[in-house]
Structure formats: C-alpha cells, structure tokens
C-alpha cells in the first residue's frame, strides 16, 4: 500500500514508521482491544480472525504487502471485532495511531488512498463471508491458497492442516480431503507441514469466483 503513495506522502510518513518483526503465530490485536498501532507489512501475512464463544475461529480477511492492518482507525473507530494473527512471518512498518490520524488530518489525498484500501478490505471481508456460506471446502481452500500465494510471492508456504482448518472454519478431516483432491489434480503438493503451489492455473480453475472478485477490487483500488 505504501507504494501507492506519492513521494511527498512517503517522505512525511517515513520518520514516523518503525520496522518490526512479524513472528509466526503472534497476535497483534485481540477483539475489542484498543488499536494503538497500524502495520504496513513489507513481508509476511496477517490474518483477521472472527472468534466465537466456543473457541471456533474462521478467517475474515488477509493482509499482505498490499495493505495495512488497522483500517478501523481510518474510519474513526478505536477497536476491531477481529483477532489479528501473523499467518506468515516477515516484517512490517509500524506507526502509532496518534501519528497516523495526524497525517491523515493534514493530508486529504492520504486519507483518500487509505479509504480506497479500506473499501477493498471491506469487500474482501464480505466476499469471504459469502464464500464460507456458499462454496465447497475445496473451492474455499483453493481461494485461500491463491490469496496467500499472491501475498507471500513464493510457491512454498509453511502450513498445517490444523492451521488451515482454523482459517477456513471447518474440521481437519474436511481440509484433508480437499487438500488431497488438490494434490491429486496436480494443483499443489504438500509435505512436512509445507504446501507447494505446483500449478497455479489449475488452482484458479478449482477456486470459486470469489478469488477473482477480490483481486479485481484490490487492483482497482490500489492503482499506483
């Protein structure tokens, strides 16, 4: 997302940004916790998880190098209903909410850029909710792997079936069947907790239309 900003906007933000490590499994936000910092990932992935009283979770959205964690503050909110969990380790540029709101208030074009990203993020969350309700586990797994592949920009990702079951909100047995089907089709391979994207085109053919719908919105809203 930072790449969509002008040189002058970046120059204003850089002194207020601090590089931090994103450690796998680290929780950056808890539901209803006050948001003190926003994060711009430069490597790695952050998942937004909806959590339930019985301990169940399901991924509502995913943030990589294209985006920002902390969009509620752009709209004036102080908390988020989601847990923010590091899905793939990496780094991020972190800024305090105090500094961000000051910059957004000073620069209307910066606010516009962040609102465009926030719009794309909201569409992803809404599309994911519909996808979880309407599409098969295999289609949803293919969509999830494509979104992850876009953001890590490498073919091999460290993932376990237990982790995938949390992200998709389904039983491990369902993930196992779906992953095996994708492997048999030649779309992916997996071993020792790693998933390898072998044939991205086949993965796209297996995915539902939700992947392309989300991708188009990000492409439209994050034009450089």
Task: List pLDDT tens digits, range 24-52.
Answer: 999 999 999 999 999 999 999 999 999 99
The pLDDT assigned to 54 comes to 87
| pTM given for the model | 0.89
Band the pLDDT of 117: cuts 50, 70, 90.
Answer: very high
Q: Is a pLDDT exceeding 80 seen at residue 224?
A: no
Nearest-angstrom CA–CA distance, 51 and 81? 9
Question: What would the mean pLDDT of 219-224 be, rounded to a whole number?
Answer: 79
The pLDDT assigned to 100 comes to 94
Task: List pLDDT tens digits, range 172-181.
Answer: 999 999 999 9
Q: Is a pLDDT exceeding 80 seen at residue 223?
A: no
Tell me the pairing of strands 57-63 and 37-51: antiparallel
Question: What would the mean pLDDT of 200-224 be, rounded to a whole number?
Answer: 91
Task: List pLDDT tens digits, range 44-96.
Answer: 999 999 999 888 899 999 999 999 999 999 999 999 999 999 999 999 999 99
Nearest-angstrom CA–CA distance, 163 and 86? 12
Q: Residues of the chain with pLDDT > 90: what percent?
A: 73
Task: List pLDDT tens digits, range 124-148.
Answer: 999 999 999 999 999 999 999 999 9
Nearest-angstrom CA–CA distance, 45 and 157? 11
Question: What would the mean pLDDT of 192-209 be, rounded to a whole number?
Answer: 94
Task: List pLDDT tens digits, range 162-172.
Answer: 889 989 999 99
Nearest-angstrom CA–CA distance, 196 and 109? 40
Query: Residue 46's closest CA among 32, 31, 26?
Result: 26
Of the two residues 223 and 123, the one the predictor is more confident about is 123
Which 3-state string (H, E, C) describes the chain?
A: CHHHCCHHHHHHHHHHCEEEEECCCCEEECCCCECCEEEEEEEEEEEEEEECCCCCEEEEEEECCCCCECHHHHCCCCECCCEEEEEEEEEEEEEEHHHHHHHHHHCHHHHHHHHHHHHHHHHHHHHHHHHHHHCCHHHHHHHHHHHHHHHHCCCEEECCHHHHHHHHCCCHHHHHHHHHHHHHCCCEEEECCEEEECCHHHHHHHCCCHHHHHHHHHHHHCCC
What domains appear along the chain, each with residue ranges and CATH number? Answer: 2-131 (2.60.120.10), 136-207 (1.10.10.10)
């Amino acid at each position: 997302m930072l790449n969509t900003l002008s040189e002058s906007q970046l120059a204003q933000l850089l002194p207020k940004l601090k590089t931090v490590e994103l450690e796998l499994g680290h929780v950056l936000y808890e539901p209803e916790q006050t948001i003190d910092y926003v994060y711009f990932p430069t490597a790695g992935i952050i998942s937004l998880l909806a959590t339930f009283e019985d301990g169940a979770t399901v991924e509502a959205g995913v943030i990589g190098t294209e985006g920002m964690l902390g969009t509620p503050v752009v709209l004036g909110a102080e908390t988020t209903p989601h847990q923010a969990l590091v899905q793939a380790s990496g780094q991020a540029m972190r800024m305090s909410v105090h500094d961000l709101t000051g910059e957004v208030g000073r620069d209307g074009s910066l606010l516009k850029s962040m609102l465009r990203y926030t719009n794309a993020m909201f569409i992803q969350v809404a599309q994911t909710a519909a996808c979880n309700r309407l599409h098969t586990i295999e289609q949803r797994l293919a969509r999830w792997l494509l979104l992850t592949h876009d953001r890590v920009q490498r073919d091999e990702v460290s993932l376990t079936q237990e982790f995938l079951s949390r992200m998709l909100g389904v039983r491990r047995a369902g993930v196992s069947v779906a992953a095996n089907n994708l492997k048999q089709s030649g779309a992916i391979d997996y071993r020792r907790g790693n998933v390898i994207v072998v044939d991205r085109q086949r993965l796209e053919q297996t995915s539902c239309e939700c992947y392309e719908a989300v991708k188009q919105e990000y492409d439209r809203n994050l034009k450089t």
